Structure 1
Amino acid sequence: MVPLSLPHGPLRVLCIAAHPDDIEIGCGATLLELAATRRARVHNVVLSGTAERHEEAARAAELFLGGSLEELVTHSLPDGRLPAHWAEVKAILESVATRVRPDLILAPRVDDAHQDHRLLGSLVTTVWRDALVLRYEIPKWDGDLGRPTHYVPVTPEVARRKVELLATAYPSQTERDWWGEELFLGLMRVRGVECRSAYAEAFFVDKALLTVGGTPGAEPEA
């Protein structure tokens, strides 16, 4: 397995979620690692949720990102009904695109079993065509976990910190039958095994541009 690195220097990151807690469940440990570098400026966009859930999302963004958080934008489209609001979702993303030109986008998978996630996943690459898109995974009843293409290894300390912060930020969710430390740590442990790390978060990448010397897109020398 060949390690790949994000570009050096300042990094603008855009996290897109259908629901409050999607971002932190899908890539919370990765955000903790990015925040630790102190070079990432992160924009979070959440498409649905009540006022209570938006407050939780704000608490989570502060806990996970601290000073790396550039902005949190929340909307109140109906949970589970985003496909019926296709035009509004597309307009929201296009509005964000007028302000944010990210180097890295963290977004749902295009084949996620949840219709809200799936819609966002399909629209992200129609709005942003020049950013690296890492598609996070969210465990759920549907059993749609797949075979990731990219991994972010994390230490046991960071993995446990993610789980602790999830419980702190989202008290409205802790009584759900699927929510729990064993689930979140267990998935990160499985993904860690797959990349020879203690723990890891896994992502799915549709396209990635690798440069092997020279300037990207330049004509080859004769």
Structure 2
Amino acid sequence: MVFTIIIIALVALIVIHHATLAEEVAVFAALAACFALIVALLRNRIASPPKTATPYTVLTVGAHPDDLEIACGGTLARLADEGHKIHAIVMSDGCAGGDNSVRPTEARNGAATMGLEKIEIHSLTDTRLEDHNMEMVDIIEAKINELKPDLILTHSSHDQHQDHKAVHFAVLRAARKQPSILCFESPSVTSEFNPQLFIDITNYIDIKIHAVQDHRDQAGKRYLRWDRLKGMANFRGAQGKLELAEGFEIVRLKDSIAGLK
């Protein structure tokens, strides 16, 4: 496929010598598209690991439409590529921080970019999720009973955002019998956030950035900038002796899951 595209590009370069200005512009646009496709194909080839022989089910729970992409988008994309089944719950439609007529759609786009199986978006009160504690517990318990997940990812308790903390404690209550729970890092975590597990996302940083950029309603916020995302991945990668990584606090982790790095 890549070889065919290269041949097409070379032919286009030859054609340019006998083209009008308008035709040259069209050819250069086509060449740019060809090279973008080559980059995408090569990235996908590099970033697609062999499918696991023992796939597991992952449930990830966030408070707002962009939380999952920012906090663990690289990990979710990597797990999906490896053949694991990723399901997501988002508790609010983000109306307090943006346009809730578009944010759920952007969350679905982000989920598709990361390769999630399904995302479920609720409309509990943004910034007041603590008022919906029992509703959140019921939602999470129902999903746990449906999926029987092997691993759950959610917010840390070491977070300044009240919604993130409310979701964390709702997950702990609903998942009290679950063997593996990890807490991801949002931009509002406190200095007490202390990851013990670092997951390699070296080949997935571009996918994470793309998934975050699917949230166009939030464009312009500093913590969504690609350099911020890559900078944090560099920092956690250095801590975990990896190139780029996402860090997680361990609530508890079953041995069969602990091999994920």
Could you tell me which residue of structure 1 aligns to residue 138 of structure 2? 91
Q: Which of the numbers 112, 134, 144 marks the counterpart of 2:182?
A: 134
Matches within 5 A, 1:122-201: 122-128=169-175, 129-140=177-188, 143-144=190-191, 146-155=193-202, 157-167=203-213, 169-201=214-246
Could you tell me which residue of structure 2 aligns to residue 59 of structure 1? 109
Per-residue Cα deviation, 1:136-175 (whole angstroms, up to 9, x for no partner): 00113x75462211010122x42133113311x1111112
Matches within 5 A, 1:15-30: 15-30=60-75
Q: Distance in 2 between matches of 1:51 and 1:96?
A: 25
Q: Is the 8 A contact 2:158 2:165 kept in 1?
A: yes
Q: Is the 8 A contact 2:158 2:190 kept in 1?
A: no
Kindly name which structure, 1 or 2, has the bigger radius of gyration based on alpha carbons.
Answer: 2
The Cα RMSD (Å) is: 1.9
Could you tell me which residue of structure 1 aligns to residue 248 of structure 2? 203
Could you tell me which residue of structure 2 aligns to residue 48 of structure 1? 92
Per-residue Cα deviation, 1:108-140 (whole angstroms, up to 9, x for no partner): 112221111111111212212223111100113
Q: Distance in 2 between matches of 1:51 and 1:116?
A: 20
Q: Is the 8 A contact 1:26 1:136 kept in 2?
A: yes
Per-residue Cα deviation, 1:82-126 (whole angstroms, up to 9, x for no partner): 011222222222222231210011111122211111111112122
Q: Is the 8 A contact 1:137 1:145 kept in 2?
A: no
User: In 2 relative to 1, CA 172–144 (structure 1 residues): closer, same or farther, beyond 3 Å?
Assistant: farther
For structure 2, which runs of at least 5 residues remain unmatched after alignment? Answer: 1-51, 94-99, 257-261
More helix by percentage: 2
Per-residue Cα deviation, 1:37-83 (whole angstroms, up to 9, x for no partner): 1x211111110012311101100111111xxx332111011211001
